[in-house]
Chain A
Amino acid sequence: MTTVTTLYAARRARRSTAGSRSLKPWYRNGSLVAGIVIVGLLVLAALLAPVLSPYDPIKQDLVNALAPPSSTHLLGTDKFGRDVLSRLLWGARVDLRVGFIAVLIPFVIGTVVGGVAGYFGGWLDTVLMRIVDVFFAFPFYVMVIVLVFVLGSGEASIYIAIAAVSWVSYAKIVRGEVLVAKEQDYVVAARLGGLSHARILVRHIGPNVLSQAIIYGMSDIVMDIMAIVTLGYLGLGIAPPTAEWGSIISDGQEFITTQWQQATIPGLAVVVTSLGLSWLGDGLSDLLSPERRK
């Protein structure tokens, strides 16, 4: 640099660059840590279910049916004499797996549709968004129950039913975010730099719009677990005798006055899972926002 002014500016620039790098570390984020701990423990319990559970979750022992909590059966047994704690742990495997996978599929579909519709606009946007509106018009549970009923119960139909209903939310969220992002000058600058539309959408706009969808996804897992539990309760979910929280609650509720823990404990498990995922989503939204200072 030849001029004094630029040298001076350069020195000032360097100094304040070094000074402004104070971002809050992720572990100081309370809800994120709480979310990670709770979800982590649940996932760990689910993964270690074969080791942790004292009994086979589907083995019946009719002599010991409806046993109260004791040192041999910590949460008692159900009406077929199956150990409730074992069923709870094995149920976590099913519910968490189905919850995560059921979110992943609509997340991908919705993000692609919303991104393309928002970025390219025009008739493509109009057509795609009218389709979204049609899907959006149906109540979530009604659609899911009808679809599962038509497709037959089982894990695959649950994935299809939930994906068919909930992709529209992701499409709407991502489209809205893309509409805002594509008006930013950095998109114009990227075009001027000679980058292709595909590259701009994926590399330049994508990272700026995904955080909202990811955060929504966290609460959507909760919704999906509730849906699975509801379907299980209605007898449309995972086929018995597979352990699953919804069916445990459904089995236990007839004995709510005498064996309250049978329905209450898996119910609490659903609540704790929801809480953990909500906190995780909350913490992620802090972490993922571009200017993460607070």
Chain B
Amino acid sequence: MTAARQDATQDSTDVLRVADLTKVYALHSPVISRLTRGGARDGQLRALDGVDLELRRGEILALVGESGSGKSTLAKILVGGQTATSGSVHHDGHPMPAHRDRDQRRRIQMVFQDPYSSLNPRISVGSMLRELLLLHRVVPRRDVRAESVRLLNLVGLEEDALEAYPSQFSGGQRQRLAIARALAVRPDVLIADEPVSALDVSVQATILELFASLQRELGLSILFVAHNLAVVQHLSHRVAVMYLGRIVEVAETAELFANPRHPYTRALIDSIPRMSVGSINEEFVLEGEPPSPFDVPAGCRFHPRCPYATDACRTTDPALADVAREHRSACLHASDLDAFDAAPDPRRSLEFGSPTTADLERVATTTTVTTTVTTTKDRSTSA
């Protein structure tokens, strides 16, 4: 994969560029509670708060963050499924509007998290592919079947799948079908929204390998969304870490793991289980509840949970800035984090958890749902 990584950096054109993207959900509190509380204001959920990111041609960029960090919202905006409140999306240097024509939609395709909901139970694999191939005139009519078979082979399935319906396939096979569908229209960019998190551990690795081989063989640009660094460690060329609607660190994968420059990234790395005795992440564990995205803390948004937080962190909101070559971090102490590590406190404990954006979209009240992120199911890929 080292060779592929070099290829990706040589061609520095960005296939997708996102600038200052913001998405605010206005939530209306129920009429009754507004009356009883004497006209309380409607809440605003800032799912994305000024996101800058670029996807380079032919690279796999991993987007990692907790539930509710806004990574799925970003994916939805990129494929045109939602409209950003402000900011811009550029594709190949041209602005990509939220309302797209058929050809613009074709260019950015998506692989969904749940392979059960993403395939129509009533449409056979063959007619699913045929419909897209004919609509976009990808190949002449007489070659449609051959092209369908080629797509199936590309994702590791056989010709006999053409006549079958989605219910006849397993989760991993369904995800392969979803990838074949996305590739049918010859996209430039593939957005993969946690494509392995709904799959069995034994299947996850094969799907990850499929993404890697597609990137190698087709030169596809892939934005790979994951809630866990372990999944993308051996897959992606670069990693972007999201926290509460903002990118807090971007770097090449090896650099990020070797030299994390944001405390949150350190916490994520330390939460990856390792196969050695006594290494269960006691070095760096954070405390506290994640702040509500309705009420983002002043200053650095990570400071309430950050063991390195100083007074400056409570007042200054750090911007994403270069800390090394190809390495940006949004931490005031990015350059002197190691100095803090000189006196580590082993008793700090990290509690991940936050209300998911989806929860908050549904429920108008701000209940804090505490979930514990378990990383055990990804152990096979990290090991």
Contacts and interface: CB of A to CB of B under 8 A. Distances in A.
Interface of A: 1-3, 5-10, 13-14, 16-18, 20-21, 184-186, 188-195, 203-204, 207-208, 290-291
A77 to B, nearest CB: 53
Contacts of B326: none
Interface in B144-203: 153-154, 156-158, 160-161, 164-165, 167-170, 172-173, 176, 178, 181-182, 184-185
**A interface SS class:** helix
A1 B156 CA distance: 8
Nearest to A193: B132
Contacts of A16: 169-170, 173
A186 B117 contact: yes
Contacts of A8: 206
A194 B136 contact: yes
Contact of A17 (B80, B117, B136, B158): B158
Interface string B331-343: 0000000000000
B206 A9 contact: yes
A289 to B, nearest CB: 9
A186 B213 CA distance: 25
Ranked nearest first, the 3 interchain pairs of A and B with the lowest CB-CB distance are A290-B121, A185-B118, A194-B102
A185 B117 contact: yes
Contacts of A191: 81, 105
B145 to A, nearest CB: 18
25 contacts: A1-B154, A2-B213, A8-B206, A10-B153, A10-B156, A13-B161, A14-B158, A16-B170, A17-B161, A20-B169, A184-B117, A186-B119, A188-B81, A189-B118, A192-B79, A192-B81, A192-B108, A192-B110, A193-B106, A194-B103, A194-B135, A203-B123, A207-B122, A208-B121, A290-B165
Nearest to B106: A194
B131 to A, nearest CB: 7
Most chain-A Cβ atoms within 10 A of its Cβ — which of B118, B120, B169? B120
B209 interface: yes
A3 B178 CA distance: 20
Given A185-B117, A185-B118, A193-B185, A9 B210 contact: yes
Contacts of B176: 13
Given A3-B209, A185-B117, A186-B117, A193 B135 contact: yes
Interface string B82-115: 0000000000000000000011011011101010
B217 A185 contact: no
A290 B184 CA distance: 25
A2 B112 CA distance: 25
A193 B164 CA distance: 20
Contacts of B161: 13, 17
A204 B123 CA distance: 8
Interface in B201-220: 205-206, 209-210, 213, 217
Contacts of A2: 213, 217
